[in-house]
Amino acid sequence: MRVVDSVLDLIGNTPMVKLNRVTNEGMADVYVKCENLNPSGSLKDRIVLEMIREAEAEGKLKPGYTIIEASTGNTGTAVSFVGGYLGYKVEIYMPEGMTLERIRLMECYGAEVHQLELESISEDESVAGAEVEIGTRQRCLELERTRPKTWWARQFSNPANTRAHYKTGLEIYYQMEGRVDAFVASIGVGGTLYGVAKALKGENPDVRIVGVEPASANYPISEGHYRMPGFSDEITGGIIEEMMESGIVDEVVKVTNRNAIEMSDRLVKEEGLFCGISSGANVYHALKVAAEMGPGRRVATVLPDNRDRYLSEKKYTT
């Protein structure tokens, strides 16, 4: 068994599991990378550690500073965890309407959570990360400009995000012994898909890279919306725009909230994988790609987060 010097050493190097119950005969094998097993419950632990370490090395983040971030939950929780562990004060700016568990998780790690009023998000709609975060990014920008000793992590445009997931991609490549035919991942701010795509295509340019977005997105990436109209470069664009313009993504598809939730329920009940809604979206589409590719091929995807942060959502209690 592994013994580590600090909890931060538990970030990354997550296991991969082959799906057995939600798959059918006649399709490619599907493997999921269990990012829900990172210490604070999501793949955001990776990017936060990378962003903080780089900012420290560059002298942008120093002892006594406050780390701020705009987040719907996972990045906020990861900043609360890593930032708190490293002795920084943490403030998270969240859109209103997220589950109480997410706020409590951040508070458990010692963060201060600020909820900002936003245009309403329908109960039935899934949330496109960039759209729902825009107001909270604006607040972080104002704070960074006006308040001393404040460092904004800026996950949506920080290159350390993509670099952290380049490592995720290499892990996948080596765990699957180089045999990956397709990779599928939902796009929030884009770091996972872009970083993993760079690693996998660097090893094998024929790997098919598929992005997933919520069918309810107001500005779908699949229809060429790589930034939010009407906002400055400082709070929109970023990784998504660079990734899409690079041509590394072969296709972006839409998955409905209903299909994502149904599949995430099946992953918990049938596969025993305690994961959230975007995991359901990822696997729902990974199975489609696997059916297209057929036996003998291998499709990889990620389970971005843990189900614990959604338990009080009505849609999960049916």
Query: What minimum distance in Å lies between the beta carbon of 10 and ligand PLP?
Result: 19
Q: Which is nearer to ligand PLP, 192 or 257 (CB)?
A: 192
State the catalytic residue, choosing from 80, 186, 278, 279: 278
Q: Is 312 annotated as catalytic?
A: no
Which residues bind to ligand PLP, rule: CB under 6 A? 74, 129, 186-193, 276, 278, 304-305
Query: What minimum distance in Å lies between the beta carbon of 108 and ligand PLP?
Result: 18
Query: What minimum distance in Å lies between the beta carbon of 192 and ligand PLP?
Result: 3
Q: Which is nearer to ligand PLP, 88 or 156 (CB)?
A: 156
Q: Which is nearer to ligand PLP, 180 or 189 (CB)?
A: 189
What is the per-residue DSSP string for the chain?
A: ----SSGGGGSS---EEE--SS--TTS-EEEEEEGGGSTTSBTHHHHHHHHHHHHHHTTSS-TT-EEEEE-SSHHHHHHHHHHHHTT-EEEEEEETT--HHHHHHHHHTT-EEEEE--S---TT----HHHHHHHHHHHHHHHHHHSTTEEE--TTT-HHHHHHHHHHHHHHHHHTTT--SEEEEE-SSSHHHHHHHHHHHHH-TT-EEEEEEETT-SS-GGGT--S-TT--TTTS-THHHHHHHHT---EEEEE-HHHHHHHHHHHHHTT---B-HHHHHHHHHHHHHHHHH-TT-EEEEEE-BBGGGGTT-GGG--
Which single residue brings its beta carbon nearest to ligand PLP? Answer: 188
Query: What minimum distance in Å lies between the beta carbon of 5 and ligand PLP?
Result: 27
Q: Which is nearer to ligand PLP, 106 or 189 (CB)?
A: 189
Query: What minimum distance in Å lies between the beta carbon of 38 and ligand PLP?
Result: 12
State the catalytic residue, choosing from 33, 44, 198, 201: 44
Q: Is 71 annotated as catalytic?
A: no
Q: Which is nearer to ligand PLP, 102 or 208 (CB)?
A: 102
Catalytic residues: 44, 278
